[in-house]
Amino acid sequence: MCNHRSLDCIVPPHLLQKLLESKDRRLREAALRTLLTSTQIRSQRTILALLPGATSAGVKRRTIYDAKNAEPEPPKGTLVRGEGDNPTNDATVNEAYDGLGSTYDFYKQVLGRNSLDGNGMRLDAVVHYGAGFNNAFWDGQRMVFGDGDGELFTSFTKSLDVIAHELTHGVTEFTAGLEYHKQPGALDESISDVFGSLVKQSSLGQDAATADWLIGPEVFTPGSPGDALRSMKAPGEAYDNPVFGKDPQPRHMDDFQNLPDNRFGDNGGVHINSGIPNHAFFLVAMAIGGNAWDAPGHIWYETLTKNCGPLAQFQDFADATFGVAGRLYGASSLEQQAVRDGWREVGIQVSGAGSIRSNAPTTTSRSRYGESEHDSLAALHARVDKLSKTVDQLAMSMHYA
Amino acid sequence: MKVTLDIAGGLAPPLMNRQHVVDTDGLTESQQKALAELIEAALKEPQPAPNRAVRDARSYEIRVAAGPGEKTIVAYDGSIRPMTRKLIEMIKSLAQS
């Protein structure tokens, strides 16, 4: 029940937003206090993450090992840098350490996820693996980086999106568990490219319009003819030269490649056909605008972690993103329409797009203000997302008042 | 004897797939002997089962065609046995020379 100090009650977000814009400083402060303590916001870390300097810290645990150009089985090496240790004289070690940290921070601060397993899993990386080793991979427990041959490729630690790509395989492993072949495998690869790119974009402060949407441009030597491993903006155009040939990625289902489901066919083209969902995400992000890790990233993350199974096909994933977008941002919202249009442009018609209301949340009860009692953390992120700019400005004004 | 090494997969298979072929007729006697010994040693190594959790690892398939039969060794990044690794490097080296 409300007393005369109505701002201490649980008030709907739209009213709080209005109060945040008040010219009365006391009203603004009270609205902010309400946001922070309101039971509508289940995770205080969400709102704190929006305030400069007030980000809640997770328990980050990074361990870097040096394989000294050997290939021990399983991959391992000498411990060279642990969590909190000072940088070493080895740039590769420091790049791996920093990249793991940036990826952890992104998942924690943007998506509320505590490491790959959601429970603070330690992040291990092995560097200097092999001699002239032209690859980086996730072995189910750790990241492994090669130094490159020095002719075509340099150290794979130089690419933040590659680091985040590989770690995201761990996230997928602990959530949707997508099978690594054909369309489920291509989704697995696409999700790693999506969040790999988002980690980089977030790190560089790039929005969807200013990001390059390239995967791994930093792994090529200056003399290498390669430009990027893949392009989410333009699948099929990441490279075209006599050394590497032409980028074979399709950007539309009409060009889907039915490759053999074996190691010579890239397990049914998991790194090839990932171009299609990659491009869908790019289109969604461009249509929505702003930072791609906001609405688009949250829609994809919610889909991956709560609405995707091991055998998901592109159609399943597309349908799920459409439903998630409706739940997080509203039926017929800009975000949901962008999701529908993005998938349509790559040749996938989402189910239920013709009757958008059918995608409305089906919960058993709602508060008087319309919120579902089963709102997920992602749903809270979406609502807080709309207030973030105002909160930032308010926090700054309070700091300098 | 013809020895073929097919490297497939990786973080970006279209850029990382490679094939190396060695025809032993073009090798010196000492090279032929060293290659044959390494092939024998690698064939004796038990190869681990594929790790289903691994992502973006490359595979290495070595096919040795000698006489009526063909012998095959398959290995993956992260679990390559010592002799197999040496054989891979030798094949790559001989194929380039």
**pLDDT (tens digit, 9 = 90+) per residue, A318-366?**
999 999 999 999 999 999 999 999 999 999 999 865 433 323 333 333 3
- B25 to chain A nearest CA, in Å? 28
Residues A73 and A108 in one domain: yes
Residues A336 and A255 in one domain: yes
Query: Model confidence over A44-57: pLDDT tens digits?
Result: 444 444 444 433 44
CB contact under 8 A, A74 and B55: no
Domain of A269 in residue numbering reads as 182-359
Q: What is the DSSP string of A14-30?
A: HHHHHHHT-S-HHHHHH
Q: Is residue A54 part of a domain?
A: no
* Whether pTM exceeds 0.90: no
Q: What is the DSSP-derived secondary structure letter of residue A181?
A: S
Q: What is the pLDDT, as a whole number, of residue A33?
A: 61
Q: Which residues of B touch A (CB under 8 A)?
A: 6, 8-16, 48, 51-59, 61, 77-81, 85
Of B6, B9, B11, the CB nearest to A136: B11
Active-site position among A166, A189, A302, A335? A166
Q: Nearest-CA neighbor of A208 among A88, A109, A291? A: A291
Which of A124, A137, A188 is the best substitution to test chain B (most B C-beta atoms within 10 A)?
Answer: A137
The yes-or-no answer on residue A189 being catalytic is: no
Mean pLDDT of B71-90: 95
CA distance A67 to B62: 25
CA distance A121 to A113: 11
B42 or B48, which is more confident: B42
Which band of pLDDT confidence, cut at 50, 70 and 90, is reported for residue A388? low
CA distance A112 to A120: 12
Mean pLDDT of A284-305: 98
Residues A86 and A190 in one domain: no
Q: Identify residue A59 by its one-letter amino acid code.
A: V
Q: What is the pLDDT, as a whole number, of residue A389?
A: 53
Residues A107 and A187 in one domain: no
Q: What is the pLDDT, as a whole number, of residue A396?
A: 59
Mean pLDDT of A232-257: 96
Q: Is residue A367 part of a domain?
A: no
User: Based on the number of CB atoms within 10 Å of its own CB, is A110 exposed (0-12), middle (13-18) or buried (19 or more)?
Assistant: buried
Q: Nearest-CA neighbor of A90 among A109, A68, A108, A111? A: A68
Angle at A296 between CA A188 and CA A376, to 5 degrees: 90
Q: What is the pLDDT, as a whole number, of residue A275?
A: 98
Q: Identify residue B29 by its one-letter amino acid code.
A: E
CATH architecture of the region B2-96: 2-Layer Sandwich (3.30)
The yes-or-no answer on residue A271 being catalytic is: yes
Q: What is the mean pLDDT of chain A?
A: 84
Q: Is residue A299 part of a domain?
A: yes
Angle at B89 between CA B85 and CA B90, to 5 degrees: 115
Q: Nearest-CA neighbor of A323 among A336, A313, A333? A: A336
CB contact under 8 A, A144 and B9: no
Report the CATH number that the domain containing residue A132 is assigned in CATH: 3.10.170.10
Mean pLDDT of A115-134: 96
Mean pLDDT of A14-18: 60
Chains A, B: CB contacts within 8 A come to 87
Residues A142 and A224 in one domain: no
Residues of A in contact with B6 (CB under 8 A): 264
**Exposure string over A174-212, b if 16+ CB within 10 A, otherwise e:** bbbebbbbbbbbbbbbbbbbbbbbbbbbbbeebebeebb
Cα maximum dimension of chain B: 43
Please give the C-alpha separations between residue A113 and each of A206, A305, A369, A377, in angstroms, as whole numbers. Answer: 22, 10, 28, 10
Q: Which residues contact A276 (CB under 8 A, 6 or more apart)?
A: A186, A190, A235, A250, A251, A252, A253, A256, A314, A346, A347, A348
Q: Is residue A3 part of a domain?
A: no
pLDDT of A235 over the 80 cut? yes
Each domain of chain B, given as residue ranges in start order, spans 2-96
Active-site position among A271, A279, A298, A381? A271
The domain total for chain A is: 2
- Rg of chain A's alpha carbons, rounded to an integer? 22
